[in-house]
Amino acid sequence: MRALIGGLEPDWVAKGDTAIPAMKLGALRVRVIAAALNRADLYMLEGTYSPNLKPGDVYPAGMEFAGVVETSSPLAPQYPVGTRVMGVTMGAFADYALCDPRMVLPIPESMSFEEAATLPVALATENDALTQAGFTSGDSVLIVGGTTSIGLISIALAKALGAGTVIATTTSADKRPALIDAGADVTIDTTTEDLPAAVLAATGGRGVDVTLDHIGGELFAHLPAATRIGGTIVNIGRLAGPGTSLDLDQLAFRRQRLIGTTFSVRTPDELGEVCGALHAAVLPAVAAGRIQPRIDKIFPFERAIDAAERLRSNEALGKILLSFADGPAEEPADRAPVANFFGSITQLGYVVHDIDASIEGFVKCGIGPWFLLRNVQPENFTYNGTSSGMAMDVAVANSGNIQIEIITPVNDEPSMYRDFLHAGNEGLQHFAYWSTDYQDLYDRALAAGFTVGQEGQLGGPTGRFAYLQTEHHPGTCIEISDLGGAKAQLFEYVKLAAENWDGTHPVQVIDPAMLAAG
């Protein structure tokens, strides 16, 4: 696959033959369609982003993406294969990326992959900053650096969450209309206007409740004067540099809180909580169109260095993207053709010569009580499509949620049970899946290419079963079974009996007539 690698040279190195990332426990693997550039990507190249990433360290580049789940995770059943997702992960500048499911979000139906790729970092960053600030609906908010890609999302997010007056700054008169488009009530050009004076004028001399700063530098020294007494200032970015001169007396006299925040040193658990917090109110606002993505320019993979230069230029208005939509046709090889096709195994079926001896063996292992039916002859039974008068003894018991079934044919009529024993086998012959929508499961199995070896019914039309020709060694034949009628009642009784069994009366013989259709 294609991927960008950092740490080898001053800029990313493009590789066309990187191995598709191998699956890790709990991870999702995503086919990336679009990835977004962030300032953090440049800081990583410089070795200044995180103490965990030092100059000279080689790493997979990129952190923000949108794409399609290619391999699902049992920890995230809400994201099956084919789900459109956006998220945050290391190695996003590649055709495939591994993701922590906690840092993945669903893409609204109406949104393109390119639009979605602009959102995860900004939404998580700004929502977390507002949360740390104690923001509540009705608060006024000052967003310093409003025409940064993250600042534009911050404006829309604050309005969507119920902010009162939203004030946003820029250093470019040409970009000022974008602040209004994003939802700002008041805009300030800090190259020509006095920031505290303009904010106080817009808030009746009070100052804003919350200030979100993406710039730092010397402008930061003016933020306490623009923030109300008892208000909160959150520093998120430092585009103008990390250094400033701050009047601590002013900060103290105004009893303000000053919070610094970054994702670079947070643990996966902490980042998962930040992303998870978006589900309650933020994602619904995105789906409703109250937070609109803004794309500056989309570059092909081959022009990744040009994309980085565009970001360094500070001329962009919106997110800069890399497109992976033209990715290679190669597919990871470690995927089952019908993963979880039938659901969860509910029964293990043994075929033996002596059912009574087999029951005794299971009882000695602590499994029981057993319910034994003698000389059961299924209705409408066919073997390879031909009618058969097969009869059998059947016993069932439960161990937890798994039912154990033992079968002994009592005549020589054709059946897969007879074939199993005649081949010299004895023991586990099949595992079963039960369904309350048997016909749907049956039809899907045939459509997927499975063939039926034998089928019939017990207890009327709601007690159908079929054995599929899947045996590649003893014990791998699949049975699908209709969980309805008298059979369902019996199976539930067997399970309850096992839960309360005290070891007495290990075998109970019951009349097969109880399974008759009625």
pLDDT digits (tens, 9 = 90+) for 405-454: 999 999 999 999 999 999 999 999 999 999 999 999 999 899 888 999 99
Same domain, 497 and 377: yes
pLDDT band, very low/low/confident/very high, at 359 (cuts 50, 70, 90): very high
On the question of pLDDT at 288 being above 90, the answer is yes
- Token pair recorded at residue 410: 């009592």
On the question of pLDDT at 387 being above 70, the answer is yes
Q: Is residue 214 part of a domain?
A: yes
Lowest mean pLDDT segment, chosen from 208-212, 350-354, 482-486: 482-486
- What's the full length of the chain, in residues? 518
Residue 191, class by beta-carbon neighbours within 10 Å (0-12 exposed, 13-18 middle, 19+ buried)? Answer: exposed
Q: Is residue 283 part of a domain?
A: no
CB 358 within 8 A of CB 352: yes
Residue 88 CB partners (closer than 8 Å, separation 6+): 63, 64, 65, 103, 120, 121, 124, 271, 275
Same domain, 456 and 382: yes
Alpha carbon distance 227, 134 (integer Å):
14
Same domain, 115 and 129: no
Same domain, 127 and 113: no
Amino acid at 486: A
Residue keyed to tokens 């639009």: 115
Domain stop point among 260, 284, 309: 260
Residue 438, class by beta-carbon neighbours within 10 Å (0-12 exposed, 13-18 middle, 19+ buried)? Answer: buried
**Residue 149 domain boundaries:** 123-260
Same domain, 306 and 401: no
Residue keyed to tokens 């959150």: 234
What is the model's pLDDT at position 245?
87
Per-residue pLDDT averaged across 240-251, rounded?
A: 87
Same domain, 110 and 140: no
State percent of the chain over pLDDT 90: 81
Same domain, 69 and 137: no
Q: Which of 172, 144, 132, 395 is nearest to 263 (CA)?
A: 132
Q: Are strands 84-88 and 64-71 parallel, antiparallel or unpaired?
A: antiparallel
Same domain, 238 and 319: no
Helix (H) or strand (E) holding 298: strand 295-300
What is the model's pLDDT at position 429?
97
Summarize the chain as % helix, strand, coil (round to 5). Answer: 30, 30, 40
- Tell me the average pLDDT of the chain: 93
Q: Is residue 329 part of a domain?
A: no
Q: Which tens digit of pLDDT belongs to each residue from 121-157?
A: 999 999 999 999 999 999 999 999 999 999 999 999 9
On the question of pLDDT at 25 being above 90, the answer is no
CB 144 within 8 A of CB 223: yes
- Token pair recorded at residue 395: 């016993």
Same domain, 223 and 158: yes
Q: Is residue 268 part of a domain?
A: no
Same domain, 366 and 485: yes
- Residues forming a β-bridge with 94: 3
On the question of pLDDT at 337 being above 70, the answer is no
Same domain, 507 and 379: yes
Alpha carbon distance 121, 21 (integer Å):
22
State percent of the chain over pLDDT 70: 97
Per-residue pLDDT averaged across 252-261, rounded?
A: 94
Lowest mean pLDDT segment, chosen from 27-36, 39-48, 111-120, 124-133: 39-48
Task: Count the Cβ atoms, other than its own, within 10 Å of residue 509.
Answer: 10
- Residues forming a β-bridge with 321: 36, 298
What is the model's pLDDT at position 517?
45
Per-residue pLDDT averaged across 343-359, rounded?
A: 96
CB 431 within 8 A of CB 475: yes
pLDDT band, very low/low/confident/very high, at 204 (cuts 50, 70, 90): very high
CATH number at residue 415: 3.10.180.10
Alpha carbon distance 310, 327 (integer Å):
23
Per-residue pLDDT averaged across 368-373, rounded?
A: 96
On the question of pLDDT at 328 being above 90, the answer is no
pLDDT band, very low/low/confident/very high, at 243 (cuts 50, 70, 90): confident
What is the model's pLDDT at position 417?
97
On the question of pLDDT at 54 being above 90, the answer is no
Same domain, 164 and 248: yes
**Domains identified in the chain, total number:** 3
Angle at 248 between CA 145 and CA 264, to 5 degrees: 45
Which whole-number Å values give the CA distances from 452 to 15, 341, 386, 466, in the listed order? Answer: 48, 16, 11, 7
Q: Which tens digit of pLDDT belongs to each residue from 79-97?
A: 999 999 999 999 999 999 9
Per-residue pLDDT averaged across 32-45, rounded?
A: 95
What is the model's pLDDT at position 284?
97
Q: Is residue 328 part of a domain?
A: no
Q: Is residue 197 part of a domain?
A: yes
CATH number at residue 80: 3.90.180.10
Angle at 462 between CA 457 and CA 464, to 5 degrees: 30
Alpha carbon distance 57, 7 (integer Å):
5
Q: Is residue 210 part of a domain?
A: yes
DSSP string, 410-438: -S----HHHHHHHTT--EEEEEEEEESSH
pLDDT band, very low/low/confident/very high, at 518 (cuts 50, 70, 90): very low
Angle at 220 between CA 218 and CA 221, to 5 degrees: 75
Alpha carbon distance 297, 321 (integer Å):
6
Q: Is residue 275 part of a domain?
A: no
